[in-house]
Structure 1
């Protein structure tokens, strides 16, 4: 059986990761999200954007995968599992998932904003958040930026293609912790349903997908996912 898991901010929030829409605290409480998540903001204040993402990168070191992440990894013992995630953290990988496609990039990959070559150099330590940090420079003279997708940027082509293939070839699609409003990712479960592939939504809150999903569970990921495969016959009956 092939299972495609589409995960969003909700599953990581259960590990204590603030979602993008959560109010930030301290230095970043009043920062416009567009200012730190757009090419315009990067060009205007690269030292501010770099400081924010560097802090998020190191903050993730104190966050651990939860039972939802671990359950998805455990499914690999019984199925061919492909994880399509909108999250920029590495919690699925740290839990043990092998096939993970980051639609919105990763906080753990960096590249030059000019030549696009990946950056493997050391990053400065950041035990506490600060307002500005100068980004490292590439040998070409460009600035090193996080490999995340900012407002107005295209999704990584390879990750998107692998995600489409994962859903197209799936026997089951599980949508967990996503608002189902951010396209094109939100179109993947719609595509599955249109092609007769069952879709199970796991989310404590209702979303635009809830009414059309084959099954919609109002449960947190960490509670629902560990027993989901065992419950499949009853859920899909």
Structure 2
């Protein structure tokens, strides 16, 4: 018997319990920087040292934290369900916890790529500095989708979401596009569970949506109990 297909959309709240701060604070700044300074092609062209150091700090922090209970519970769900995770997060905590099918919409912090060849991608744990180049002498950059850039995995994410028999949304405001649009691709009648202690999505917007106002760890445990009863 085929396992039920669970598609999970995760955002910054998923990793918050691991100690990873969300990039953007209440006033819209990213760690004190205007977002366009550190997360746009123009910002990188204007001050590559600033941008590289911004991501170096994020990368160092990632290497010091571990997956939380929510990550581990999602990985454990693969025993009973066909689980595919689509994440806006650039950390690898889902993979560390053991999830086998993870799609990163916005790139990955532990990867870099050539500024000349976007398909020249390599794993990277150390600091990235000006002068780190590919085999043809082109500067390497973070493998991150910056503002103003295409989201290359979006079509794959849409295709996955369309097949969902259950949609689980965790720790994301569903305000950032195009990621926020994915909820509109689930088939009519698909159960949707929205785990977020500060959810701003109205249940009336989606008749099959159930809001669980809890943290990622608490909410995932609750959804697992619900799904195991169905």
Q: 1:209 to 1:94 in 2, by over 3 A?
A: farther
Under a length normalisation based on structure 1, what TM-score does the superposition of the two structures give? 0.86
TM-score of the pair, normalised by structure 2:
0.88
Q: Distance in 1 between matches of 2:68 and 2:161?
A: 24
After TM superposition, what 4+ stretches of structure 1 lie above 4 angstroms from structure 2? 121-126
User: Highest relative contact order (Cα 8 Å, sep 6+), 1 or 2?
Assistant: 1
Deviation at 1:47, TM superposition (A): 1.3
Map 1:81-92; keep pairs closer than 5 Å: 81-92=83-94
Aligned to 2:197: 204
| C-alpha deviation, 1:32, in angstroms | 1.6
Residue in 2 aligned with 1:75?
77
Kept after mapping to 2: 8 A contact 1:84/1:101: yes
Q: For structure 1, which segment, 48-57 or 76-85, has the greater mean C-alpha deviation from structure 2 after superposition? A: 48-57
Partner residue of 1:152 out of 148, 154, 159? 148
Are 2:23 and 1:20 aligned?
A: yes
Equivalent-residue separation in structure 1 for 2:160 and 2:121 (angstroms): 28
- Say if 2:19 and 2:65, in contact at 8 Å, map to a contact too: yes
Specify whether residues 209 and 144 from structure 1 end up closer, same or farther in structure 2 by C-alpha distance, changes over 3 A only.
farther
Equivalent position SS for 1:19:
coil
State the partner residue of 1:223.
Answer: 218
In structure 2, do the counterparts of structure 1 residues 135 and 222 end up closer, same or farther at CA, with 3 Å as the change threshold?
Answer: farther
Query: For the structure 1 residues 123 and 74, does the alpha-carbon distance in structure 2 shift closer, same or farther, using more than 3 Å as the test?
Result: closer
1:126-164 deviation per Cα after TM superposition (whole angstroms, max 9, x unaligned): 9xxxxxx425122222210011100100102xx323311
* Aligned-partner Cα distance in 2 for 1:201–1:135: 44
Q: Does 2:154 align with 1:169?
A: no
Output the CA distance in 1 between the equivalents of 2:102 and 2:62: 18
Matching residue of 2:9: 6
What residue ranges of structure 2 are gaps of 5+ in the alignment?
Answer: none
Q: CA deviation at 1:165?
A: 1.9
Q: Which runs of 5+ in 1 are unaligned?
A: 127-132
**1:59 is the counterpart of 2:61:** yes
